[in-house]
Amino acid sequence: MITWQAGSVVKKQQWHDDLYTITIKTDPLPFKAGQFANIGIESVDGLVYRPYSLVNTPTNDLLEVHFNTVSSGRFSPLLAQLDVDSPISVANRAGGLLTLDQVPEERNELWFCATGTGIGPFISILRGDEVWQRFNKIIVCYATKTASEMAYYDELNNLKMQYPEQFRFAPFITREAVKDTLNTRFTTHLESRELEPFVDTAIDVNSSHFMLCGSSAMINDMTEILEQRGLRRHSRQEPGHIAIEKYF
Ligand SMILES: Cc1cc2nc3c(=O)[nH]c(=O)nc-3n(C[C@H](O)[C@H](O)[C@H](O)COP(=O)(O)OP(=O)(O)OC[C@H]3O[C@@H](n4cnc5c(N)ncnc54)[C@H](O)[C@@H]3O)c2cc1C
């Protein structure tokens, strides 16, 4: 059974028509960077809730949630209507396998592949110290339809300057041609063998680990391509190379 704690919205940022980040104050929630928690809103039909990845680091008590609204959806339009001081509930347990303790010891290169709001858990990991201490290379492939939907772009771009040897960022904008970004899907770029030279990192079954987050379409396509390259799905029982989180 889910136990809920009461919280309130302390900040709301709108990136695009239907794209937001809200910050929530609640009792401290123990979680690992990359995990999600259920967020609930009281409606006329009772409490409605959905899982959302946490973008803040576990050491920051203010919870950050990055989301888009689905116009036909039950919960996300309610979430988008909240404003500063609105009440909101947060489940007191977090979950999910997109965490660094799930990456086998011998891996040196960590790939984060996100579509849309799927960038959230990776931002949480990138804001911590462990990832920079542990991996030789960290590669972010991040796809959105338009440039204005590419939330956290400046934060990711700044990491390129902070970690010029260790960090590679491949921004993909699929419906606009934008300077310094790639105008294709990253699955297409990977299949055509252009992605690895672009990020200056070869995929290797011994040293690469992938975390995929966002749409099922991207995750299914990426998994298929990576399996053809000899990588395997990761689970707690059978450690592999590809950890996934499907949002829809
Ligand atoms: C583990 C987990 C973590 C998640 N984390 C996030 C997150 O950090 N940010 C976030 O925005 N969403 C996240 N989601 C999706 C989120 O939980 C909701 O499903 C989403 O916000 C839609 O809820 P809804 O009630 O408005 O729509 P629903 O009534 O639940 O769904 C309506 C329809 O919209 C589709 N749909 C669901 N999500 C999307 C989407 N993002 N874009 C387009 N279509 C969609 C569903 O497949 C369904 O067909 C996560 C989902 C899971 C399983």
What is the mean predicted confidence (pLDDT) over 62-72?
Answer: 98
- Look up residue 119 and give its two tokens: 């960038």
Identify whether the C-beta of residue 121 lies closer than 8 Å to the C-beta of residue 36. yes
CATH class of the domain comprising 100-246: alpha beta
pLDDT at 9 over 90: yes
| DSSP 3-state of 204 | coil
CA of 74 to the centre of ligand 1 (A): 10
Mean pLDDT of all residues in the chain? Answer: 97
Q: Answer whether 76 contacts ligand 1 (Cβ < 6 A).
A: yes
SS3 124: helix
Domain boundaries, the chain: 4-94, 100-246
Asked if the domains at 4-94 and 100-246 fall in one CATH topology, the answer is: no
Question: pLDDT by residue (tens digit) across 213-237?
Answer: 999 999 999 999 999 999 999 999 9
Q: Which atom of ligand 1 is nearest to the CA of 48?
A: 25
Assigned fold of 4-94: Elongation Factor Tu (Ef-tu); domain 3 (2.40.30)
Residue having the nearest C-alpha atom to atom 27 of ligand 1: 73
Confidence band of 118 (pLDDT split at 50, 70, 90): very high
Nearest by Cα to 131 from 166, 170, 96, 168: 166
Does 1 have pLDDT greater than 90? no
- pLDDT score, position 173: 97
For residue 141, how far is its CA from the centre of ligand 1 (angstroms)?
A: 21
Largest CA distance in the chain: 53
Q: What percent of the chain has pLDDT over 70?
A: 100
